[in-house]
Structure 1
């Protein structure tokens, strides 16, 4: 009975999201929708309708049989758009029992589905409630302050009414710092900034040099605002996120009534320096959800370094990768996972579909409630995050809208999709579809969506 709770929770969540969002679908499914030519007849499934009484899920629902599920997946799995190396696993999320396997143990390039693994490791190692501080401490001279980057990937310049959960802001930090200075009778300071919490290269192994200039990620440093964006609402990134953040903090101090002499300079904070002010990030649970919903590369890389620091390892790409592997090992999930970054931008990463589904099933289990944000952060087909513009009306995968929750993964020639879906019998299934040798990413996305929608429409018991 305890194991059935997660299915009830997911069922309620899907019903609630559909009810709330359906009325706004005209707004959400607007320009930017990418129509993929149907691969076959659309998967048919009745829209979600809330019953007067929600029947108990889990034991009251039937598990698909492997033979029936394989028969339903045979045609969509044969799509040429998936390429020659397609691997897949579908499992009962309650028990983890595989129901469908195709090259399940063959390692594939996961792209951004790597973030599922990162999220599991972060929640297990750091805990859902852990927060990341950004502090201001006294410098080595009486008139000196040091802004210390703690690795908060969501730190922003100013508050936003639409941000949830509310991120830490430089505006709040500057006001708190100004108050502390005024209490000691100081209003004139020099500003330094400390980014020593991270080590090693700022770009990951296997990354394209153009990732920063095209706006996919900022150089990975311990101090940044708005993920290193020059404009918080834009894509363009700075090559010096820490310097930009320090300059913005100096300006915020001036607006708070503090005179800042000269330009901020990089320096280490003195050991044991007195703290004047701090702000903290949202909890790790919220960071994981944001990372998965928006496929946020900057959050992913920050989480990996936080895991490394928790384990006493070097907060770098190498140390972070070792830390993630150690965290997975403690969960029994290390087999079939080889990662070199947290975001999935690296083509060096290799993960089996079997390992991915095992991680998702663990996140759905009652034994690991701390991992639940991995599921709640997954985009909802046709409605949220990176799946907003997929599973549209009239497409071959339209039957998956509102039922499929999945993390997308896309690199040139690589298309992946992994997550959970409620089938036509009300059973929660975990899946991973990994195609890392495709000719057209757009066509492959349509084929992957068709597979997930087929599971959603399957009463294959």
Structure 2
């Protein structure tokens, strides 16, 4: 089958969370003073956008709202739900930051097993890695499987578990997640094509068969078993001969031999938005479910995300079946996406700021890197627009924020296509650039 979703980087590299707003208003207008800038005139904005929306390139549902007041400035079928593709990740990201919190870290640990071996217990960290840390990689340190093996080997040696006692059996516990490892609504080629690994609470290097080889994107069929095998090899390398065991559930109160933690959720959110990382997005949805006491599954994650959005007042028009947006059955309206982005940009919600700092910068980063925003019709948005992209077959979406030429912060969402024809993502770029170029106050 043809690969229908965009390429993404092989190794996740979430940047550190910025301590300042990365979307700067022209003329250096501080974020706190944005309310003093007059909102744009709605007819003037319509005059800019309407000619661009018409013509070939697929039907577009669109909205532009004032990020301060959240009042609509431009609407075209704004309340009509459409397939959001990866802009679904905006809902997932706001939900996990609002519920779990930006500073939360996910723990992977090793405990004693009943039979005298060890159990590798996954907590759902999608960035756990067996690769060596690269100096200057530009991200907080990932949880290291190598470090966990070193801790475990030292603990076993200290308690008298020596090489003379035979090989240590490494069982694995991935029970932190429940339900199927692939959504029923996903296209069958997603896992074989490496769009993401089978969703599991225990995965190393996102289940990639060759994580150090950027030319290969294939994933293992059983991520927890592969993680246990990798851990057994690392234990052996640290002087404790070991072998991979079987699936198990760690005994309550079992002695802990080692533990490592992920980067903060804020950094994971930044990464999943910048690079549109499906593995991290599905992990974040399940963290929301765990926090709210729901089943950590596709259904439970979707229910938990919407529950948090309802508490925040931005759930209307949101219906999701997964955390990543790969499901063609997801439905979100443009006005819902714009309200979610505006909420994340609100000065009174600093815990959500990683959503804004994680949005790709037009023409510079992530899924908005060149050639996007490098042609004359969209260049006005380069460096000014920050937005999340969404792409499935016959569907293209774009939702984010931009300062207009007067310095007013606007939120927008443009959703094109019905999954049956072709769409032009460049058309959405031109719409966002028109907002940035509009001195329409």
Task: Say whether the fold is shared (TM-score over 0.5).
Answer: yes
Q: Residue by residue, what CA displacement relative to the aligned partner does 1:247-269 show, whole Å, maximum 9, x if unpaired?
A: 11111111111111x43222111
| Kept after mapping to 1: 8 A contact 2:23/2:386 | no
Q: After superposition, where does 1:209-358 map in structure 2 within 5 Å?
A: 209-232=188-211, 233=214, 234-260=216-242, 262-358=243-339
* Whole-angstrom distance in 2 between the partners of 1:320 and 1:421: 30
* Whole-angstrom distance in 2 between the partners of 1:96 and 1:54: 19
Q: Is structure 2 residue 142 aligned with structure 1 residue 167?
A: yes
SS of 2:430's partner is: helix
The residue number in structure 2 matching 1:420 is 401
* Whole-angstrom distance in 1 between the partners of 2:104 and 2:26: 37
Q: 1:275 to 1:398 in 2, by over 3 A?
A: same
* Whole-angstrom distance in 2 between the partners of 1:207 and 1:77: 30
Q: Is structure 2 residue 162 aligned with structure 1 residue 187?
A: yes
SS of 1:264's partner is: strand
* Whole-angstrom distance in 2 between the partners of 1:89 and 1:50: 26
Q: Is structure 2 residue 68 aligned with structure 1 residue 94?
A: yes
| Kept after mapping to 1: 8 A contact 2:126/2:203 | yes
* Whole-angstrom distance in 2 between the partners of 1:381 and 1:107: 25
The residue number in structure 1 matching 2:179 is 200
* Whole-angstrom distance in 2 between the partners of 1:149 and 1:71: 54
Q: 1:263 to 1:55 in 2, by over 3 A?
A: closer
Q: 1:54 to 1:106 in 2, by over 3 A?
A: closer
| Kept after mapping to 2: 8 A contact 1:205/1:348 | no
Q: Residue by residue, what CA displacement relative to the aligned partner does 1:413-460 show, whole Å, maximum 9, x if unpaired?
A: 11000000111111111100011326765x521100000000010001
2:125 to 144, 149, 152: 152
Give the C-alpha shift of residue 394 in structure 1.
Answer: 3.5
Give the C-alpha shift of residue 180 in structure 1.
Answer: 1.1
SS of 2:189's partner is: helix
| Kept after mapping to 1: 8 A contact 2:61/2:334 | yes
SS of 1:209's partner is: coil
Give the C-alpha shift of residue 411 in structure 1.
Answer: 0.3
Root-mean-square deviation (CA), in Å? 1.9
The residue number in structure 1 matching 2:85 is 111
Q: Taking structure 2 as the reference length, what is the TM-score of the superposition?
A: 0.90
The residue number in structure 2 matching 1:31 is none
| Kept after mapping to 2: 8 A contact 1:154/1:281 | yes
| Kept after mapping to 1: 8 A contact 2:270/2:354 | yes
Pick which of 246-255 and 107-116 moved more. Answer: 246-255
| Kept after mapping to 2: 8 A contact 1:109/1:350 | yes
| Kept after mapping to 1: 8 A contact 2:26/2:407 | no
SS of 1:453's partner is: helix
Q: Is structure 2 residue 43 aligned with structure 1 residue 64?
A: no
| Kept after mapping to 1: 8 A contact 2:26/2:405 | no
* Whole-angstrom distance in 1 between the partners of 2:31 and 2:263: 35
Q: 1:245 to 1:395 in 2, by over 3 A?
A: farther
Pick which of 425-434 and 106-115 moved more. Answer: 425-434
Give the C-alpha shift of residue 241 in structure 1.
Answer: 1.1
- Unaligned ranges ≥5, structure 1: 1-7, 16-47
The residue number in structure 1 matching 2:3 is none
